[in-house]
């Protein structure tokens, strides 16, 4: 029988190892990619936003499904996150500006801090939108939330149209808000 070249065997082994590595890695990270486009919205690629049930700072149960029909800006944040702190006054302004058109900003605190501390922080920042205490499982549903802030733009049909990871400019956030607010108009026109 013809003797096999050891180099070929080594190459085959390395290829198998690399396929295993990248295959498993890709499979593991798939949920992040499935939550929609990385930077700007693309309705064709949008996915339903995972529903959640979390306790808000005022003790009520906050469900994403309660806001169906509204354009939702879902912001994951924490008290120790300085970029999150920079965004909050923007969200307050944007809630004031677009609330009447159907925008609802929702905050989810991914924080180990005491609920009282979070409430104090929120009060100090003048937050005018509901804030819930986050759970890791909810973060996982949204791709893992491995850093903060992370913001998801959910249209009136409950689909993630856009997401912003990290701090971006207020203008970019406002553009994404306009897109999800417009989603109702598009849906109505499509129905005609």
Partner 1 sequence: MSLKFMKATLAVVLPGILLGGALFASDESPGSNKGPSVTMSPAVLTTVTRGKPGLVPLDFRVVKGFHINSNRPNAEFLIPTVLSIEAPTDIVVGKVTYPPGEDISLPFAPTDKLNVYTGDFQLTVLVRPLVGVAASKYMLHGRLKYQACDNAACYPPKSLPVEFEIKVIKGPAAHVKNPGQSPHVHN
CA distance 49 to 76: 14
**How are beta strands 150-154 and 103-109 bridged, if at all?**
unpaired
Q: Check binding of 159 to partner 1 (CB under 8 A).
A: no
Q: Is the dihedral of CA 47, 76, 106, 73 positive or negative?
A: negative
Size of the site for partner 1 (CB under 8 A): 41
Q: What does the per-residue mask of binding to partner 1 show for 19-38, with x meaning CB under 8 A?
A: xxx--xx--x----------
List, in sequence order, every beta strand (DSSP E) within 19-87. Answer: 47-48, 53-55, 61-63, 71-77
Q: What does the per-residue mask of binding to partner 1 show for 94-133, with x meaning CB under 8 A?
A: ----------------x-xx---x---x------------
| Residue 56 vs 113, nearer CB to partner 1 | 113
Identified binder of partner 1 from the candidate list 47, 83, 128, 140, rule CB under 8 A: 83
Q: What does the per-residue mask of binding to partner 1 show for 37-76, with x meaning CB under 8 A?
A: ----------------------------------------
CA distances from 139 to 63, 73, 152, 187 (A): 14, 15, 12, 29
CA distance 123 to 125: 5
| Residue 29 vs 63, nearer CB to partner 1 | 29
Q: Check binding of 10 to partner 1 (CB under 8 A).
A: yes
3-state helix/strand/coil string of 175-190: HHHHHHHHHHHHHHHH
The pair phi, psi for residue 5, each rounded to 5°, is: -70, 125
Identified binder of partner 1 from the candidate list 78, 103, 105, 132, rule CB under 8 A: 78
Contact 134, 54 (CB under 8 A): yes
Q: Check binding of 166 to partner 1 (CB under 8 A).
A: yes
- Binding-site ranges for partner 1 (CB under 8 A): 1, 3-4, 6, 9-10, 12-14, 16-21, 24-25, 28, 78-86, 110, 112-113, 117, 121, 146-149, 165-169
């Amino acid at each position: 029988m013809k003797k096999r070249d050891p180099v070929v065997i080594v190459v085959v082994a390395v290829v198998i190892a690399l396929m295993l590595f990248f295959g498993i890695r890709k499979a593991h990270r798939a949920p992040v990619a499935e939550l929609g486009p990385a930077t700007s919205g693309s309705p064709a690629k949008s996915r339903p936003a995972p529903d959640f049930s979390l306790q808000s700072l005022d003790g009520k149960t906050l469900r994403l499904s309660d806001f169906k029909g509204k354009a939702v800006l879902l912001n994951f944040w924490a008290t120790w996150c300085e970029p999150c702190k920079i965004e909050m006054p923007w969200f307050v302004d944007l809630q004031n500006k677009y609330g009447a058109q159907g925008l609802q900003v929702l905050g989810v605190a991914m924080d180990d801090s005491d609920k009282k501390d979070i409430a104090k922080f929120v009060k100090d920042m003048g937050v005018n939108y509901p804030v819930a205490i986050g759970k890791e499982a909810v973060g996982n549903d949204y791709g893992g939330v491995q850093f903060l802030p992370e913001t998801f733009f959910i249209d009136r049909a409950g689909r993630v149209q856009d997401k912003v990871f990290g701090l971006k400019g207020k203008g970019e956030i406002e553009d994404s808000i306009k897109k999800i607010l417009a989603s109702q108009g598009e849906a109505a026109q499509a129905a005609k």
